[in-house]
Chain A
Amino acid sequence: MGYIELNEVTKNFGDLQVIKPLNLEIKDGEFTVFVGPSGCGKSTLLRLIAGLEDLTSGSIKIDGNEAGDTPPAKRGLAMVFQSYALYPHMNVYKNIAFPLKMVGLEKEAIDKKVREAAEILNLTEYLERKPAQLSGGQRQRVAIGRAIVREPLAFLFDEPLSNLDAALRVGMRLEISELHKRLNSTMIYVTHDQVEAMTMADRIVVLNNGIIEQVGTPLDLYRSPKNIFVAGFIGSPKMNLITGDIATKFNANTVGIRSEHISISEGEGDWQGQIKMSESLGSDTFVHVEVNQLKENITVRAEGERSFNRGDKIALNYNKENLHLFNKNGVRM
């Protein structure tokens, strides 16, 4: 079991309140991702759950037991750090065996578990190596191995893929997702990368300035963001957020529309403008357009390989049903 409940949790560093009163439930077996910009408090929140930071007020319950005053070692949670935090003086085997040694398990049992974990993570041939002799991806796998052997109530990941190169990151992302399916245990994953959040999460918690902006499944957040912040943060490229006349027309302060909901018109179209720049990704082409009727530039997604030239005239169509309307407080209407 790994059911985690946060009640009115706050955290201050000196006079600065980095986590404002916050409530959250994390269900057993769920893959929850905390996502938000730098300094939004997501890592602090994870460290509060881990017990590496003390609560300023509020309570944390793990499987129904009050854990606020329990030291990290006794919470039954395992953590994977951004910097891997492997013990540099121990080889891979000893690194993975360390948590088992700490609970006083017998040598044979330790050996069995370490070899099992190494098998799962393809580390068997590296067991004798020191961390310095491993690549980034292998180091991260060792860190995950060290977490697995403990059979924790929940896994905590603190931006585990940030130090890896892009290709490796995609691979490790899949490995972690697979691991979650195999172990079926609770995982909390912190990242600033909304693509990681969208692809891995059962549920995403969007944080900003120490408060939760929205909690929901990836598609919930994508389809109906509660406010401008979530609308702008989730989805790549960013949702087009437009103010001015068009917003007033819908009695809103801001309207949002995703790049794939705008189409390039052959005729006159709803909007006319000039192309400022286009980015070809092969499968898609993103066109940045300066629209005559709008103050803001608009990003449009065109499917497939298309060629556009800077300064070309272009007409765009949008569908009213796909607009997201926000009031003057930035809240969805």
Chain B
Amino acid sequence: MKFLWNSIIVAGGSTLLGILIAVPAAWSMAFVPTKRTKDILLWMLSTKMLPAVGVLYPIYIGFIKLGLLDSRLGLVLILMLINLPIIIWMLYTYFREIPGEILEAARMDGAALWKEIVYVLTPMAIPGIASTILLNLILAWNESFWTLNLTAAKAGTLTAFIASYSSPEGLFFAKLSAASTMAIAPILILGWFSQKQLVRGLTFGAVK
């Protein structure tokens, strides 16, 4: 049960934190691009190309120093950071579909920047934001590399729990299967209910 809670908190927390950072970041890149915007986007994507194990050591040391090892907070932070480039990229492409004139109209109508984002941009990008959130939840929920390496008993998530049934003494197939089913179920249900939204989000703006 503890593992389930950890999974929920880590997946939910990292997604929420990621969205809060990504919305303004994607806004600025989509609507006030500079000469370097394209480079920054590419650079962010390039971090995803780096094998995670390549930076495990420095991050592990960092976590020890900061006392974040085997803590939910640490896991939330690291999962948020590894998924952030994807969230920003997705939101950036959705935001690009929104006509800039509408945001300019909001500005002319007296909306401050945060009001422009909250009242105009976000409601218009709801399908895009929803599918981004869902994808990020799935990615964070299924994440196992960092979870296995940075947690033990205290902050371990369902993926760590499943992995614990595979031991040098042999595989506990029955228990492993049960745990896997338990881990898949929430994502399956969530995905089922939001599939319409997800498909609309993923094809958002593909056809005018």
Contact = CB atoms under 8 A, between A and B. Distances in A.
User: How would you classify the secondary structure of chain B's contact residues: helix, strand, loop or mixed?
Assistant: helix
B110 A88 contact: no
B137 to A, nearest CB: 24
B105 A81 contact: yes
A78 B123 contact: no
Interface stretch (A69-77, A109-117, A308-316, A319-327): A69-77
A83 B115 contact: no
Contacts, number: 61
A78 B101 CA distance: 13
Interface residues of A, number: 24
Contact of A85 (B105, B110, B115, B123): B105
- Interface residue tally of chain B, by bracket? 10 to 19
Contacts of B107: 52, 71-73
Contacts of A146: 105, 109
Given A88-B124, A89-B124, A102 B105 contact: no
A150 B109 contact: yes
Contacts of B112: 73, 102
Contacts of A52: 104, 107-108
Nearest to B108: A79
Most buried by A among B99, B107, B120, B123: B107
Nearest to A50: B108
Contacts of A89: 123-124, 126
A99 interface: yes
B110 A150 contact: yes
A74 B110 CA distance: 7
A102 B102 contact: no
A52 B104 CA distance: 7
A88 B101 CA distance: 12
- Shortest beta-carbon contacts, A-B, top 4: A99-B109, A85-B105, A102-B110, A85-B101
